[in-house]
Amino acid sequence: MKLNSGTLLITGGGGYIGSHTVVQLQAAGYRPLVLDNLSNCVPAVFERIEQISGQPVELIEGDVRDSVLLERIFSRYPIDAVIHFAGLKAVGESVQQPLRYYRHNVQGSLTLFEAMQRHGCKRLVFSSSATVYGPAATMPVNEQAPLAACNPYGRSKLMVEEMLGDLAAADSDWQIALLRYFNPVGAHPSGLIGEDPVGVPNNLLPYVAQVAIGRLPQLQVFGDDYPTPDGTGVRDYIHVMDLADGHLKALQALTDGHGCVPYNLGTGRGYSVLEVVAAFAAESGRPVPYDIAPRRAGDAAISYADPTFSRQQLGWRASRDLAEMVRDHWRWQQRNPNGYPTE
């Protein structure tokens, strides 16, 4: 089966990971149709994608929970496969607003899968997360490790993974890749697209970038008493372009009899918070002042992937190192100090 030049539905294609994946899909000759409700992206992202690829983005503005709209989309377009990014992703917010998370992430997914089933479109790449392994997992973690999400966001991902496992068990025509992302960072090397968080960033790299550019005064390092070499948390940061390439490899792997298969998308190497801060200061030439704050509730000490299975099965491996991640993130930050233009 060859999917190249096929029409793909990309839910959440205006978001951070989706936008980089759309660029790579266009470059590879696919026709990505984006379904996005613009709740966490702005229309400018689509102009930027067009600037990079030279190809227009076909945007359907709407919600993945809207079954009437999905019915229209699947009736109108010959969709070969779906990449499902759309959803909410802030762990802390999910603890405060669990029902909203289950509605977007679980009900949204269910509505989408039902529409796919009705139309016989049974190839899917799903955005899952390393958070499904839970904070007590042994590192490096492989896909066979026990699953134990510990907050509503993580449970929403786990529920969808389980739903998809049941679906593939019931109907062997379904071909599903569950992509468990580690910590996506960086930006397209053009500096035209990148991560544009609303308000104060939750995640390390966008926070550090905003300190370096002068939008935030200093970083709080959440804990320096973890059992790690320098006491700060260790994560498997992965360049968003490597992640985007992983989606193309996963799509190509969706061949007959694939079933529902989880893949880690990580580099296999962990960096501490202080190593990231040092790398950012070195690449940007700007100071990144920080102080040590208490541990953040729910944080694991160490999280990094065993990417062996993805390498063997998908022929994929991350090729960009921390310096490149930080350099590309900084380029994006410098060229867009306030994120995407909003008008």
Please list every residue from 3 through 62 that binds ligand UFG, using CB under 6 A. Answer: none
Count of CB atoms situated within 10 Å of the CB of 281: 17
Q: How many CA atoms lie within 13 A of 280 on its CB side?
A: 28
> What are 8's strand-pairing partners?
32, 81
Decide: is 215 part of the binding site for ligand UFG (CB under 6 A).
Answer: no
| Contact present, 23 and 49 (Cβ < 8 Å) | yes
Select from 19, 37, 40, 129 the one that contacts ligand UFG (CB under 6 A).
129
Which residue, 166 or 225, has its beta carbon nearer to ligand UFG?
A: 225
153 is catalytic: yes
Which residue ranges make up the site for ligand NAD (CB under 6 A)?
Answer: 11-12, 14-18, 36-41, 63-65, 85-87, 89, 104, 108, 127, 129, 181, 184
Binding partner selected for residue 85 from ligand NAD, ligand UFG, none, CB under the kind-specific 5 to 8 Å limit: ligand NAD
**From CA 280, how far away is CA 287, in angstroms rounded?**
9
Decide: is 299 part of the binding site for ligand UFG (CB under 6 A).
Answer: yes
**Given 16, 101, 153, 226, which residue is catalytic?**
153
Binding partner selected for residue 12 from ligand UFG, ligand NAD, none, CB under the kind-specific 5 to 8 Å limit: ligand NAD
Decide: is 167 part of the binding site for ligand UFG (CB under 6 A).
Answer: no
Which residue, 62 or 201, has its beta carbon nearer to ligand UFG?
A: 201
Query: How remote is the C-alpha of 283 from its chain's centroid?
Result: 24
Q: Supply 64's token pair.
A: 């993945």
**From CA 308, how far away is CA 300, in angstroms rounded?**
22
Which residue, 199 or 285, has its beta carbon nearer to ligand NAD?
A: 199
Binding partner selected for residue 330 from ligand UFG, ligand NAD, none, CB under the kind-specific 5 to 8 Å limit: none
Decide: is 228 part of the binding site for ligand UFG (CB under 6 A).
Answer: no
Q: How many CA atoms lie within 13 A of 133 on its CB side?
A: 27
Residue 284, C-beta contacts closer than 8 angstroms, at least 6 positions apart: 212, 326, 330
Residues that are catalytic? 153
